[in-house]
Structure formats: structure tokens, C-alpha cells
Structure 1
Amino acid sequence: MQPNTLFYILIAIIIINFIIDQILDTLNAKHFDDKIPEKLADVYDEAAYKKSQAYKKTNAKFSNLTATFSILLTLGFFLADGFKHVDDFARSYTDHPILIALIFFGMIMLGSDLLTTPFSYYKTFVIEEKFGFNKSTKTIFWLDKLKGWFMLIILGGGILSLIIWFYQFAGTNFWIYAWVLVAVFSLFMNMFYAKLIVPLFNKQTPLEDGELKFAIEKYAKKVGFIVHNIFVIDGSKRSTKANAYFSGFGSQKRITLFDTLINDLETDEIVAVLAHEVGHYKKKHIIFNLVSSILLTGFTLFLLSLFINSSILSEALGVTTPSFHIGLIAFGILYTPISEITGLFMNFMSRKFEYQADNFAKETYAAKPLITSLKKLSRNSLSNLTPHPAYVFVHYSHPTLLKRLLNLEK
């Protein structure tokens, strides 16, 4: 295959992926004005429903704008030999492969972030503000941005450096060492993310003694789920939207409740939500997701090892000096169709797991408080109650609210 042929294949993949996303977005948007199913009639009153419609349509228009900007920027960068210019710039400062790669990716990511930050700012302080969700301040926004860059430099740069180092001494067998590295890192982050990373962005405090803590501990004891780490996170400093999640294993098990969740729901509803999360743990969904992610990473790295030595990957992007970092860019685009397929499978499994977790909550606690909590959370976040089936199939990691309620009411 000639480099020019591969170049056009890469462009085709980018454009086709964009077109498919636009088709799905368009199909979904056509259902925005559908009549709400009878079982969901009590989620919104007339005023709230009109607000949810406006929110969906505003976000859809904004999403189309950002997606169009992104693909035009990407195609322009390709056609202007952007990768070659950035690679030349990096090589003008050093000839060390790891440093070249760090400068190369650092420039691309910094440039991309600077160009897209205005969109993120508008989303937070105009759209989310308009619909009453935003509680963040400009100081928090920019601090989050700086912390994100810091983490990307330390964690992302560190992992990339080690992978290139593995490639230098192990050749195409680098993927084995890289796989072990990523697997260990994934396991470590699953265990300690809440302790090490979350505190950089949010304050976590132990749930105070009282009715809610007693109810949670009573339920946990009933189902044999002993956990001593129940924390409340100050999610309200950024948004009014509510959430709860479970993390860790063994002695590191931890339940985290957003303060907005506590404010929005009754005690029995919060316990029902947690029963759902406990269901994920009891049904080994967390283990499945972690193992699947690690196996998929290994598969991806193995495929990368088969192509990374091919100079055609670099030449297709206009770079005459073959390198790991340029090959990684080209491979990443070529891998997109496979990534989309594996994404469909993982979303399918995730939706299946949500039903199982709902059933666990229904069987070990009660269906009614979980139903009312799901309705409240949907109402408070102005959720779309009538998404297009194709959009759900591709993008949703959770079943629609209607399907979850029908399952709970069986």
C-alpha cells in the first residue's frame, strides 16, 4: 500500500465516523417532541417538560457546532501536514525519542485544548447556567483546567514515556510490558482513585451519623455488604445534578454520595439507589468491566505491535522519519472502526448489567423507591425521555428510563 492511499483511508475513516454520528444525532433530535409515554407522564409537569425540550434542543445545536468545528480542524490539520510541522518542531529541540514524543503530544494536546476551551466555557457558563445546573465559578473552572493539565503531564506523560522505553529495548514485544503496566495502573486507580485523585477536585467527608447512615448500614448488613467508608462529596459546587457511585475492593470499598443526591431524594430512595450500586458489586459487574478493559487493552496493544514498525504509517502523515509517536497517531485512527464495535458491545453489556442491578435492588430492598428516585433524577437533570432506539443502541450505557421502569414493575 502506498502512503497516499493510507492517507485517504485515514481521512475516510474520520469523515465516515463524523457522518454516522451526525445521522444518529439527527434521528435522535427528531424524537425530541414525541409524546411522553404514559408511564412517564408524572416525570414532568408542562413547564418542566418545555424546559427539558429547550435544554435538549440547545445541547443538540451546540453539539453539532462543536462536532463540525472539530472535524474541520482535524481535516485542516491533516491537509496542512500539521503532524510533520509539529514533529519537526519537536526534533529541533532534541533527538531523544521519548522527549520528542512528549513534546509532540504535548503541543497537539495543548493546542487542541486551547481551541476547544471556549466551547467548554460556553457550555458551562451559558448553557448550563441558563437551565439552572451550573454552580461552578470561573475560578473553579480554570483551576480544574490546570489540575487536568497537571494530571495529564504526570500520569499521561509518565505512561507514554514508559511504553516508548519498553519499545526501545523490547521491540515489537513491547506490548507485553505495556499491557502489564496498563493493567497494574488500572487496578491501582480502581482501588485508590477516590483517595488520591478525587480530593484534588472535590471535598469528601464521612457521612454523619443519623437516619440515612443507619438505613444504609442496616441494608448493607442485610445483604452481607459490610462497608465502613460512606462519604459525601460536594458535587453541588459545580452542578445541581446528582449522582452516587461505588469504588474499590476489599478494605478499600467505598460508597460516595453527591450532596445533591441527599438533597433531592428521600432516605428510602437513596438506599434504593445504593442497593442498585451494591447489585453491581454483588453481580461482579465491576470485575467484569475491569477485566474486559484490561483484555481489550492487551488486544489493542498487540495489534499496535504488528503495525508500529511500518514506515508507511509515518509517511501517510507526511513524516519522513518513522517514529513510535507518529505511528501511534495513524494506528489510533485505523483502530477507530474496531473501537466503535467494542464500544457497542460494552454498552450492550452495561445496559444488561443495569437491569441486573435494578433487579437486585428490587429483590433485596424495594422497587417503588428506586422507581421514584429514577424519575426524580431524570426530572432534575432534564433527561430525554424519548430517545431514538438507534441512538440508544450506539451511545447509551444505561437503558432508557421507560425500559428500566417496565423491568422494575414486572
Structure 2
Amino acid sequence: MNPTSLFYLLIGILILNFIVDKTLSYLNAKHYNDPIPEPLKDVYDTDEYRKSQEYKKEQYRFSMFSATISLVATLLFFFLDGFAYVDALARSLVSGAVWVGLVFFGIILLASDLVSIPFNYYRTFVIEEKYGFNKTTIKTFVLDKLKGWIMLLVLGAPLLALIIWFYETTGADFWLYAWAVLTLFSVIMNMFYAKLIVPLFNKQTPLDAGSLRTKIEVYARSVGFTIDKIFVIDGSKRSTKANAYFSGFGSEKRITLYDTLIKDLEEEEIVAVLAHEVGHYKKHHILFNLAASILTTGLMLWLLSLFVGSSVLSEALNVSQPSFHIGLIAFGILYTPISEITGLLMNYLSRVFEYQADNYAKTTYRWQPLISALKKLSKNSLSNLTPHPAYVFMNYSHPTLLQRFQNLKKDSDNPTIA
């Protein structure tokens, strides 16, 4: 394939991906006014449902607008030889493949992030504020952005530098070394993310002794689950939306509850939600997801090693001197179809895992408080109760609330789970 053909192939992939994504969003939006399914009638009253519809429609319109602006900006960058300009700028500032690559991506990422700030600001301080979700202050917004940049410098830059160095020193075999390093990094992040990264953005405090902690510990002992690290995170400093998650493994496993979750749910409901999270651990979902991530990263790096050195990739972006960083840009777009396929598979497996975790909570605790909790969480976040099936298939990592309700209610007459 010649460089001109490859250039238009890259443009075609970008446009096709946009069309597919926005078509699905349009189909999903057409269902916003559907009547609430009978089993979920108690989630919203009439006024609340109208508010949820308005919230979803406003999100949809803003998403369409921002995605269109992003696509137009990206296409202009391609047609105006933006990558060639940034490559030349980076080479004028530093020398050596590693430094040029770091400066190149630094400029691209910083520019992209700066462009996105007004959109993020509007989403947070206009849309989320309008519907009563936002608790983020300007100070927190700015500090989050600065901390994100610092993390990118401290963690992302050394990883990228090491990968480029591997490429320059080991040639086609670089992907094996890069894969090993990224695998080690993934394992460390999975084990210590809550201890090392979360404190930079949120305050975590141990759950106080009391009836809630006692109920959690009683349940944990009943299923042979040892947990002494139960933390409360100050999610309310940014949003009223609630969550809970399980992280780490081995001696570093911990349960984290958002303070908004404790505020919104009854204690029995919180224990049911945690039973679901324990189900993920007991079913080895965390390890499976880690392994799947490592394997897909290996596949991507192997394919990258086959193409990244091709001069056609650089010439397609009007850069005369082939380099790892230019090849990575072109390859990243070419990899999009494969990424979509692996994403579909991972979403499907994630939905299967959610059913399994729900079933675990149902058989080891009770199904009623979990259903009640899911309904409250959906109500408090103005969730979409009538998504289009195609949108669910392509984008949802969790089953819909109706699907989870039907699964939890199934066999509910069985006295062992009632």
C-alpha cells in the first residue's frame, strides 16, 4: 500500500468509527422516551423520570457536539500535516529518538488536553451542576488536572521512554521487553493502586466500628472471606453519585465504599452490594481481567512490532524520517477495528461476570436488598432504564438494570436464597 492510500485509509477508519459510534448513540437516544418496564416502575415517579429523560437528552446533545468538534479537529490536524509539524518541532528542541518521542507525545497530549478542558468544564459545572450531581469546586478541578499531568510525567513518560529505548536497541524483539515491563506495571497497579494513586485525589479513611462494619465482617466470615481493609472514600467532594469497588489481591485486597453510598443506602443494601463485590473476588474475575488485559496488550505490541518500522506509516503522515512515535500514531488508528473487537469481547465477559457476582450475592446473602440497592443507585444517578439493545451490546460492561432484576428475581421462590 502506498502512503497516499494509507493516509485515506486512516481517515476512513476515523470517520467510520465516528459514524458507528454516533449511530448507536442516536438509536439509544430514540429510546429515552420509552415507558419504564413494569418491574422498574418504582424507580422513578413521574417528575423524576422526566428529569432523568432531560438529563440523558442533554448529555446526548453535548456528547454529539463535542465528538463532532473532536473529529473535525482531528481531521484538520491530519490534512494540515500537523504530525509532521510537531515532529519537526520536537526534533528542533531535542535530539535522540527517546527524547524526540517524549517531546512529540508531550506536545500532542498537552494540546489535546488543553482543548478538552472547556468541554470537561461545561460537563462538570453546567450539566452535572444543573441536575444536582456536581460537588467539584474550581480548585479541585484545577488540582485534578495538574495532578493528572504530574502523574503522566512521573509514570507515563518513563514507561514510554523505556519502550522507545527497547525499540531502538533490540529492534523487532522490542515488543517482548515492552510486554514484560507493562505486565509488571499492570500487576503493581492492580495491587497497589488504592494505596499509591487514590490518595493523590481522594481521602480514604477506615470504616468506623459500628453496626455497618459488624454486618460486613459477619457476612465476610460466613463466606470465608478475610478482609480487614474496609475504607470510606470521600467521593462526595466531586459528585453525589455513589459507588463501591474491590481492589487488589492477596494481602493487599481491600473494599472501598463511597461516602455517598453509605448516605444513600441502608446497611443491608450496602452489605448486599459488597457481597456482589466479594463474588467478583471469589470467582477470580479480577485475576481473569488482569490476564485478559495482559494478553491483549501482548497482541497489540506484537502487531505493532510488525508495522511500526515501516516507512509507509511515516510517509502517510507526510513525515520523511521514519520513527517509532510516528509509526505508533498510524498504527494506533489501524488497530482500531481490532480494539473494537477485543472491547466487545471484554464487555460481553464483563456482563457475564456481573451476573455471576449477582448470583453469588443472591446465594450467599439475599437478593432483595441487592435489587433495592441497584434501584436506588439507578435513581440517584438518573440512569437510563430503557437503553437500545445494540447500544448495550456494544458499550455496556454491566447488564441493564432490568436484566439484573430479572436474573436476581429468577428462582427467588427457592427457600435457600429467599
TM-score (norm 1): 1.00
Residues 350-369 of structure 1 aligned to structure 2 (within 5 Å): 350-369=350-369
For the pair 1:239 / 2:243, whether they are aligned, the reply is no
CA shift for structure 1 position 95: 2.0
SS of the aligned residue for 1:227 comes to coil
Q: Which amino acid letter does the alignment assign opposite residue 341 of structure 1?
A: I
Q: Aligned equivalents of 1:130 and 1:93: distance in 2?
A: 45
CA shift for structure 1 position 224: 0.6
Residues 179-328 of structure 1 aligned to structure 2 (within 5 Å): 179-328=179-328
Task: Indicate the residue corresponding to 1:100 in structure 2.
Answer: 100
Q: Aligned equivalents of 1:94 and 1:108: distance in 2?
A: 16
Residues 112-151 of structure 1 aligned to structure 2 (within 5 Å): 112-151=112-151
Q: Which amino acid letter does the alignment assign opposite residue 308 of structure 1?
A: V
CA shift for structure 1 position 233: 0.2
Task: Indicate the residue corresponding to 2:6 in structure 1.
Answer: 6
Q: Which amino acid letter does the alignment assign opposite residue 343 of structure 1?
A: G
Residue-by-residue CA offset, 1:93-112 (whole Å, 9 max, x unaligned) = 12211110111011111111
Task: Indicate the residue corresponding to 1:331 in structure 2.
Answer: 331
Task: Indicate the residue corresponding to 2:33 in structure 1.
Answer: 33
Q: Aligned equivalents of 1:93 and 1:127: distance in 2?
A: 41
CA shift for structure 1 position 168: 1.3
Residues 16-55 of structure 1 aligned to structure 2 (within 5 Å): 16-55=16-55
For the pair 1:163 / 2:180, whether they are aligned, the reply is no
CA shift for structure 1 position 79: 0.2
Q: Aligned equivalents of 1:78 and 1:252: distance in 2?
A: 45
CA shift for structure 1 position 271: 0.3
CA shift for structure 1 position 154: 1.5
CA shift for structure 1 position 242: 0.2
The alignment covers a number of residue pairs equal to 410
Q: Which amino acid letter does the alignment assign opposite residue 225 of structure 1?
A: F
CA shift for structure 1 position 250: 1.1
Residue-by-residue CA offset, 1:187-222 (whole Å, 9 max, x unaligned) = 000000000000000000000000000000000000
Q: Aligned equivalents of 2:285 and 2:20: distance in 1?
A: 30
Task: Indicate the residue corresponding to 2:405 in structure 1.
Answer: 405
Residue-by-residue CA offset, 1:24-79 (whole Å, 9 max, x unaligned) = 01100000000000000000011110110000000000000010000000000000
Task: Indicate the residue corresponding to 1:152 in structure 2.
Answer: 152
Task: Indicate the residue corresponding to 2:413 in structure 1.
Answer: none
Unpaired segments of 5 or more residues in structure 2? 411-418
Q: Which amino acid letter does the alignment assign opposite residue 312 of structure 1?
A: V
Instruction: Identify the range of structure 1 (122-131 vs 147-156) with the bigger mean alpha-carbon deviation.
Output: 147-156
Task: Indicate the residue corresponding to 1:110 in structure 2.
Answer: 110
CA shift for structure 1 position 293: 0.2
CA RMSD of aligned residues (A): 0.5
Q: Aligned equivalents of 1:253 and 1:322: distance in 2?
A: 45
Task: Indicate the residue corresponding to 2:57 in structure 1.
Answer: 57
Q: Aligned equivalents of 2:252 and 2:113: distance in 1?
A: 34
Q: Aligned equivalents of 1:287 and 1:90: distance in 2?
A: 40
SS of the aligned residue for 2:256 comes to strand
Q: Aligned equivalents of 1:159 and 1:28: distance in 2?
A: 38
Q: Which amino acid letter does the alignment assign opposite residue 206 of structure 2?
A: P
CA shift for structure 1 position 169: 1.2
Q: Which amino acid letter does the alignment assign opposite residue 61 of structure 1?
A: R
Q: Aligned equivalents of 2:114 and 2:183: distance in 1?
A: 31
CA shift for structure 1 position 309: 1.4
Q: Which amino acid letter does the alignment assign opposite residue 283 of structure 1?
A: K
Percent identical across equivalent pairs?
67
Residue-by-residue CA offset, 1:155-207 (whole Å, 9 max, x unaligned) = 11111000011111110100000000000000000000000000000000000
Q: Which amino acid letter does the alignment assign opposite residue 117 of structure 1?
A: I
Q: Aligned equivalents of 1:77 and 1:169: distance in 2?
A: 31
SS of the aligned residue for 1:92 comes to helix
Question: Runs ≥4 in structure 1, deviation > 3 angstroms?
Answer: none
Q: Aligned equivalents of 2:210 and 2:226: distance in 1?
A: 18
Q: Which amino acid letter does the alignment assign opposite residue 372 of structure 2?
A: T
For the pair 1:79 / 2:109, whether they are aligned, the reply is no
Task: Indicate the residue corresponding to 1:88 in structure 2.
Answer: 88
SS of the aligned residue for 2:133 comes to coil
Q: Which amino acid letter does the alignment assign opposite residue 136 of structure 2?
A: S
